[in-house]
Structure 1
Amino acid sequence: MTDPNTIDEPQRPRRKGIYALPNAITLAALFSGFYAIVMAMNGRFDTACIAIFAAAVLDSLDGRVARMTNTQSAFGEQMDSLSDMVSFGAAPSLIVYIWGLKDLGKAGWIPAFVYIAGAALRLARFNVNIGVVDKRFFQGLPSPAAAAIVISLIWMADDNGYRNVSQIDWLAWTAFGVTLFAGLSMVTNAPFYSFKVFGGRRTVPFIVLVAIMLGIALIALDPPRVLFALFAVYGLSGYAVYAWRKYKGVPVSVISTSTDEPDEKDLHH
């Protein structure tokens, strides 16, 4: 029997731990972005580009690992956003500026700043709207895809032997246009397919595995050109979907547009 004169001590709240595995992957992605900047400063643009793509692969893994191991946390979400801002915001902006925009004078600042500002706005909007956006689509071009467009252009040109790009007017202005396009696309309302329909299932159709196999084989043939082509098509796909929806009279906003998906059923009240 408990002594009535005994005063129970209040239980201390359990300290929330920091899960090692998903955050280690996020830190690895952050290091890849930092490493890419360092390599670009030393003129090793091919290595810098590979580091950004490595960061994109790691970024795609940390959230999945957290869900698979049931180690999601608010700390991990914030850490992931900060890592994305470095790897897919600051790093591509600085790399493309060093590579091809610096000799354009102050004009070269414009796309570089628009890009990094677009990445910051894109990530902030994603964090705010994460609960009300149709999960089948991204609202605006995702920052890893925007980084891939800019970085694969640099990688492709470097692979073709172009050096001192800032002194090659047509290529410098191409970099200007591509960077500006990627930066502005991140803050548009165009719907970009998220591929989460397959990612959320335990099984996928066999044809999907065949398509993945063929995609890997194509990328292996000529990584810079194939990656640039793939991400350029993806970068234009959102505007194609937007135009198609406008033409059909279907709502173009990805905010609460789906009434068929179970995950979206509570977004329409």
Structure 2
Amino acid sequence: MSEERPRIGPKAAEDEVPLTPRGSGPRGLAMRAVVPNAITAAAMCSGLTGIRFAMSERWEEAVFAVILAGVLDAMDGRVARLLKAQSRFGAELDSLADSLSFGTAPALILFLWSLDDVTRFGWFAALAFAICGALRLARFNAQIDVSEQPHKSAGFLTGVPAPVGAGLAFLPIYIWLATGDETFRDPRLVAPWTGLVAFLMISNLATLSWGKMRPRPDVRLGLIALVGMVFAALLLEPWWTLTGICLVYLATVPWSIARYARIRRQRASVPAT
């Protein structure tokens, strides 16, 4: 008798372990499952509304809409687990929402903001970002039931997550909004940056998994204070703060690669049992 494939709900992070259902056979969508799926739908609507703002050249609202979609995307999975409302329907809806909110929407916003000045080349850069976002989510869905995932077992992710990729792609917009310097709106700068972030999303590089981080007890209070200060900075200087967050994350990528390489060497040195 074949083992039933596990069902999962909306994901908050790619390093979470899917839960096995208690019963078997087809089941309808329980009422408690409506709440997390409604949050997922809200995230999708928020991301797509960013395109509407971009069409009106309301760039701050466009960026904020995608960031809000990322916040909602981080909530839906946790709400689903809290309510024990995981479902295959929720997982599929979440992947579709992520593809639209963190792939299609940022690509179109960047195209309307800068890349439209070099229509053909800029459109290819926007297409690359949207396609890579979809490919990343497709890879994640294909690996849900794969037990052997070296990066995940070591506490890392494979490539840059789609919501983080959307935030990184907006880095030129953050700096432009903070400084007003039109240099950062130059498509000759924005297009290569968009392509680089698209590559990072589908790459096999080991990246930081926040859910697997376990800070020492003696630094936890400091981290809580730091989070509070970052939140205050977001209220006072949102664009410079977002720029700083992006730069800090980019700085963790080489560290993650080096740490994973060290873990892999340690695993290789242990005799197989």
TM-score normalised to structure 1 length: 0.78
Among candidates 199, 203, 227, match of residue 242 of structure 2: 227
Q: CA deviation at 1:159?
A: 4.3
Q: Deviations over 1:190-232 (max 9, x none)?
A: 1111111359xxxx93333223212212323311121122123
In the alignment, does 2:111 pair up with 1:97?
A: yes
Looking at CA atoms only, which structure, 1 or 2, has the larger radius of gyration? 1
5+ residue gaps, structure 1: 1-12, 258-267
Q: Answer yes or no: is the 8 Å Cα contact 2:107–2:126 preserved in 1.
A: yes
Q: CA deviation at 1:139?
A: 0.4
Is residue 158 from structure 1 mapped to residue 177 from structure 2 by the alignment? yes
d(CA) in 1 for partners of 2:201, 2:62? 22
Which whole-Å deviations, capped at 9, do the CAs of 1:46-80 have from their partners, x for residues lacking one? 10000000000000000000011111111001100
Equivalent position amino acid for 1:226 in 2: T
* 2:99 aligned to which of 55, 70, 85: 85
Instruction: Tell me what 1:57 maps to.
Output: 71
- Correspondence for 2:264: 251
User: Hey, what does 1:185 align to over in structure 2?
Assistant: 200
1:93-242 correspondence runs (5 A): 93-130=107-144, 131=146, 132-133=148-149, 134=152, 136-161=155-180, 171-197=186-212, 205-242=220-257
Which of 44, 47, 52 aligns to 1:38? It is: 52
Instruction: Report if the CA contact (8 A) 1:37-1:91 is conserved.
Output: yes
Q: Residues 234 and 43 (structure 1 numbering): CA distance in 2 closer, same or farther, change over 3 Å?
A: same
Report the more deviating stretch, 146-155 or 75-84: 146-155
Deviations 1:57-113 (A, max 9, x none): 000000000011111111001100000000000000010011101111311123211
How many pairs are equivalent? 234
Q: Which amino acid aligns with 2:201?
A: M
The more displaced of 189-198 and 49-58 is 189-198
**Offset of residue 169 of structure 1:** 8.4
Report which stretch shifted further, 174-183 or 89-98.
174-183
The TM-score with structure 2 as length reference comes to 0.77
Q: Which stretch shifts more, 223-232 or 185-194?
A: 223-232
SS of residue in 1 equivalent to 2:170: helix
Tell me by how many angstroms 1:241 deviates: 2.5
8 Å CA contact 1:152, 1:225 repeated in 2: no
Cα shift at 1:174:
1.9
Contact 1:45/1:155 (8 A) holds in 2: no
Distance 1:113 1:239, change over 3 A: farther
SS for the counterpart of 1:205 is helix
Instruction: Answer yes or no: is the 8 Å Cα contact 2:106–2:169 preserved in 1.
Output: yes
Residue in structure 1 matched with residue 4 of structure 2 by the alignment: none
CA contact (8 A) 1:52 1:151 kept: no
Identity %: 32
Gaps of at least 5 residues in structure 2 are: 1-24
Amino acid at match of 1:111: A
